[in-house]
Amino acid sequence: MKTYLVTGGCGFIGSNFILYLFKKYGEENTIINLDKLTYAGNPENLRSIEKLPNYIFVQGDICDEKCIREIFNSYEIDYVVHFAAESHVDRSILSSKEFVVSNVLGTTVLLDAARKAWLCGDDTYLTGKRYLQVSTDEVYGALGATGYFSERTPLDPHSPYSASKAAADLLVKSYYDTHKMPINITRCSNNYGPYQYPEKLIPLIITNCLIKKPLPVYGDGMNVRDWLYVEDHCRAIDLVLEKGIIGEIYNIGGHNEWTNIEIIKIIISYLHNYYDTSIDESLITFVTDRKGHDRRYAIDATKIEEELGWVPIVSFQEGIIKTIEWYIANLDLIPV
């Protein structure tokens, strides 16, 4: 029996992670979900478990020291799984302050609260405690046509979003180096699946197709991302919490590279064949490229595969169909 503090649990990956914990472990753990409910947070995502006695929702801000202190005073937290963040690159290009506040300051507030609650001597901590920072491959910058990001790749973030995530990663690592705090950092490639706010590529394209709006494609559409089904990411986080070596960083990736335009055509083709023949490539609209748009991301996940035995189990073909079908079934819940 563990008590988890999950931050950002009403967002895309956080809500999938909480549902995954209930699916895998039943009701044996206590899950506290702390979420500010920004535009990206939707409590509806957790409707199926919200009445369970061992699920506790707290609406609050990770930057609010008093709120965080009260949570640590009220519950014996074993695991902090820190998802909460401003997460959209385009928004960070328009205005970066909120990214620094939530992603960097918020992380230090959580680290300090966890450290204080778990410290039981001079840089020694209660056993079984773990702080996991959920980070992104975007902290490594961009790749050319070949090569992969490993955990040893130097950080070289290009957008205000990825810069704020890299800053947070460095703070988390510093709490291990300085204070020996029991931390891990995971850096994952692009996720897709249910419950994602429709501003990111895959849910945006699916929902725009469903409501017959133009499909905006940045630049030439040839930017490459490595896509991972969200449940495979949740499984990896669970594994790192249970078996990861304290202080280590683990890359998580799908070995599943696609250009943006390929992804868009796959979605159109599925919807055209199985949903509505009027959905076709005429909806594609090329728009001015994103400023500083990273060309390619690709993860070398050898470390988590060899040391912890993790591999992705949902194929892209299966995952993209599940995702499209979920958006079709839940279109009325999606802010479009």
Looking at the Cβ atoms of 86 and 232, the one nearer to ligand NAD is 86
Residue 257 falls in the annotated catalytic set: no
The C-alpha atoms of residue 276 and residue 290 are separated, in whole angstroms, by 30
The C-alpha atoms of residue 310 and residue 148 are separated, in whole angstroms, by 18
DSSP 120-177: -SSS-B-TT-EEEEEEEGGGG--B-SS--B-TTSPP---SHHHHHHHHHHHHHHHHHH
Residue positions counted in the chain: 336
Decide if residue 312 touches ligand NAD (CB under 6 A).
no
Looking at the Cβ atoms of 233 and 283, the one nearer to ligand NAD is 233
The C-alpha atoms of residue 136 and residue 250 are separated, in whole angstroms, by 10
Token pair, residue 244, equals 């990861």
Q: How far is the CB of 162 from ligand NAD (least distance, A)?
A: 9
Position among 11, 193, 198, 253 found at the interface with ligand NAD (CB under 6 A): 11
Decide if residue 63 touches ligand NAD (CB under 6 A).
yes
Stretch that binds ligand NAD, among 4-12, 281-289, 317-325, 327-335 (CB under 6 A): 4-12
Position among 36, 115, 130, 235 found at the interface with ligand NAD (CB under 6 A): 36
The C-alpha atoms of residue 217 and residue 260 are separated, in whole angstroms, by 8
**Annotated catalytic residue, options 78, 86, 138, 238:** 138
The residue assigned the tokens 């609260």 is 113
Looking at the Cβ atoms of 58 and 119, the one nearer to ligand NAD is 58
What residues contact residue 62 under an 8 Å CB cut-off, 6+ apart? 7, 34, 36, 68, 82, 84, 102, 106, 107, 109, 110
Decide if residue 104 touches ligand NAD (CB under 6 A).
no
Residue 137 falls in the annotated catalytic set: yes
Position among 62, 81, 261, 314 found at the interface with ligand NAD (CB under 6 A): 62
Stretch that binds ligand NAD, among 83-91, 253-261, 287-295, 303-311 (CB under 6 A): 83-91
**Annotated catalytic residue, options 78, 137, 226, 294:** 137
- Contact criterion met (CB below 8 Å) for 49 and 22: yes
Residue 161 falls in the annotated catalytic set: yes
**Annotated catalytic residue, options 161, 195, 250, 270:** 161
Decide if residue 110 touches ligand NAD (CB under 6 A).
no
- The β-bridge partners of 99 are none
By CB under 6 A, name the binding residues for ligand NAD.
7-8, 10-14, 35-38, 40-41, 61-63, 83-87, 102, 106, 134, 136, 165, 188, 190-191, 197
